């Protein structure tokens, strides 16, 4: 891990970007651990208005990814990312001045919009800078991000222990400082060029190279995308039914996030005798395992066809987690604790698989000539899940009890099988029937595992 961080795929620019992400996520960890208490005790919001505030943030976040993707096809990614950092700086800094609910509603919406847009732009930067080794970069990025979140939460604990209004203001300033430093670091990077250029150049490249456009003819019809997009050379993700199907199926394949943050804690509190002190252990297990294992998992999912297999494995892993939750004993603190901790391990394993499979497929299933706009649409899946996932868990799954967990696990497993089948069909259509089943069908070139370890990656299927 240390060696890869010193010499990441993408060289100097990637190393600077990873450090910028560490600072950004540290600030986000500070704010994430303290925002609910700030809005409750400093801003004086009740539960209803707090729920509305967080819901507005989730809805605004959905628009962040496609908006960033649309702009990235026309402007420099580096400039846009700096703009996102400065936008969030202005919004978070305004919290020091304004406490009216209407203003807070606007500020958290803007912050969430900028946050999701920044994450999408970072993904696009990695896709361009790391190239075929993007899986390795993604693993490094997630490890760095989780380390930043953990560091930020630890710093927030100090301020929360003090508990004064001034302490909360210091935490806000710490988050604001992280945006300033991240923007300064991004400024030091060079602009990464898309395979087909940018803006109008992408359209020309797509028209000149049919391999860079959406597949035409029978294969395209089989994969679900209209062949006229390839002939036009300017693919539109909103008209690409096949890619929209992928994004739609990807939404439930991000539910591990809500299960970890909402499902496990509430199930422990409301349906078991396990001590409440176990709740922080879920996040500790998640953070440690992601930092330690993300590179290993990424090395085994270095190609698109392996990513499709990992999507199916994600569903089976989450099914196992849901099965454990359904079988968690209501009485007996030790037994319930052990089962819930095992469920936390499984949901983290699902997250590790999702983090590499979802991103790799989002890149590989998009035509390279229009990758920015396509990745912007793909980024919506996580944002939608963050808005709808908690409501699904609290409003349906937990109301139904153990049967609800079983139904959720079975549904996600079924979706994961469908996602794998669809992804393989679309990959075959994009790459051509002559490469089906071969390593080249996965998107060409050596895998991230080969680049990172010097040996081939073991397939996941």
Residue 368 and residue 430 in contact, taking contact as beta carbons nearer than 8 Å: no
- Distance separating alpha carbons of residues 227 and 1, to the nearest angstrom: 43
Determine the pLDDT at residue 194: 53
**pLDDT tens, N- to C-terminus, the chain (461 residues):** 666 677 777 788 888 889 999 999 999 888 887 887 788 888 888 767 877 787 788 788 888 888 888 888 788 888 999 999 999 999 999 999 988 899 999 999 999 899 989 988 988 888 777 777 777 787 788 788 888 888 887 888 788 778 788 988 999 999 999 999 999 999 988 765 554 433 333 332 333 333 333 333 334 334 444 333 343 345 788 888 989 999 999 999 999 988 988 888 889 888 888 887 787 788 788 888 888 888 788 778 778 888 899 999 999 999 999 999 999 998 888 999 999 999 999 999 999 999 888 888 988 898 877 877 888 888 888 888 887 888 888 888 988 999 999 999 999 999 999 999 999 999 888 775 444 444 333 333 333 333 333 333 333 33
Determine the pLDDT at residue 46: 77
- Helical spans, DSSP H, in 301-332: 304-327
- Distance separating alpha carbons of residues 351 and 5, to the nearest angstrom: 22
- Distance separating alpha carbons of residues 278 and 288, to the nearest angstrom: 16
Domains of the chain: 11-187 (1.20.1250.20), 229-430 (1.20.1250.20)
- Distance separating alpha carbons of residues 147 and 126, to the nearest angstrom: 19
- Distance separating alpha carbons of residues 301 and 226, to the nearest angstrom: 29
pTM above 0.85, yes or no: no
Locate tokens 């390593």: which residue? 439
Residue 123 and residue 21 in contact, taking contact as beta carbons nearer than 8 Å: no
- Distance separating alpha carbons of residues 353 and 347, to the nearest angstrom: 10
């Amino acid at each position: 891990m240390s060696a890869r961080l010193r010499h990441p795929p993408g060289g100097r620019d990637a190393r600077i970007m990873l450090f910028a992400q560490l600072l950004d996520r540290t600030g986000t960890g500070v704010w994430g651990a303290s925002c609910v208490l700030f809005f409750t005790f400093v801003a004086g919001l009740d539960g209803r208005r707090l729920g509305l505030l967080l819901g507005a943030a989730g809805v605004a976040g959905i628009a962040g990814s496609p908006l960033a993707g649309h702009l990235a096809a026309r402007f420099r990614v580096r400039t846009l990312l700096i703009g996102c950092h400065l936008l969030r700086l202005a919004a978070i800094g305004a919290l020091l001045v304004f406490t009216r609910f209407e203003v807070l509603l606007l500020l958290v919406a803007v912050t969430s919009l900028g946050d999701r847009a920044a994450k999408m732009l970072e993904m696009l930067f990695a896709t361009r800078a790391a190239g075929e080794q993007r899986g390795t970069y993604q693993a490094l990025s997630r490890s760095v991000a989780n380390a930043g979140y953990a560091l930020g939460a630890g710093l927030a604990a100090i301020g929360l222990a003090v508990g004064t209004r001034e302490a909360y203001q210091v935490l806000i300033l710490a988050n604001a400082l992280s945006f300033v430093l991240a923007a300064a670091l991004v400024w030091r990077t060079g602009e990464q060029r898309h395979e087909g250029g940018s803006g109008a150049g992408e359209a020309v490249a797509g028209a000149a190279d049919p391999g860079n456009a959406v597949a035409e003819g029978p294969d395209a019809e089989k994969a679900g995308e209209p062949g006229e997009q390839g002939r036009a050379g300017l693919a539109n993700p909103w008209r690409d039914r096949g890619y929209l199907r992928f994004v739609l199926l990807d939404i439930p394949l991000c539910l591990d996030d809500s299960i970890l943050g909402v499902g496990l804690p509430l199930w422990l509190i409301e349906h078991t005798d396990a001590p409440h002190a176990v709740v922080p252990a879920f996040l500790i297990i998640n953070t440690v395992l992601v930092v330690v294992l993300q590179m290993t998992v990424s090395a085994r999912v270095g190609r698109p066809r392996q990513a499709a297999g990992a999507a199916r494995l994600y569903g089976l892993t989450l099914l196992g987690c849901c099965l454990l939750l359904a079988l968690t004993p209501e009485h007996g603190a030790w037994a319930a604790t052990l089962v819930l901790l095992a469920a936390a391990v499984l949901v983290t394993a699902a997250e590790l698989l999702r983090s590499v499979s979802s991103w790799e497929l989002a890149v590989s299933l998009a035509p390279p000539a229009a990758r920015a706009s396509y990745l912007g649409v793909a980024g919506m899946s996580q944002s939608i899940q963050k808005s709808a996932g908690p409501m699904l868990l609290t409003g349906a799954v937990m109301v139904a009890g153990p049967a609800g967990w079983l139904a959720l696990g079975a549904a996600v497993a079924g979706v994961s099988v469908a996602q794998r089948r669809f992804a393989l069909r679309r990959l075959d259509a994009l790459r051509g029937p002559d490469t089906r089943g071969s390593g080249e069908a996965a998107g060409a070139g050596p895998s991230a595992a080969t680049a990172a370890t010097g040996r081939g990656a073991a397939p996941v299927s």
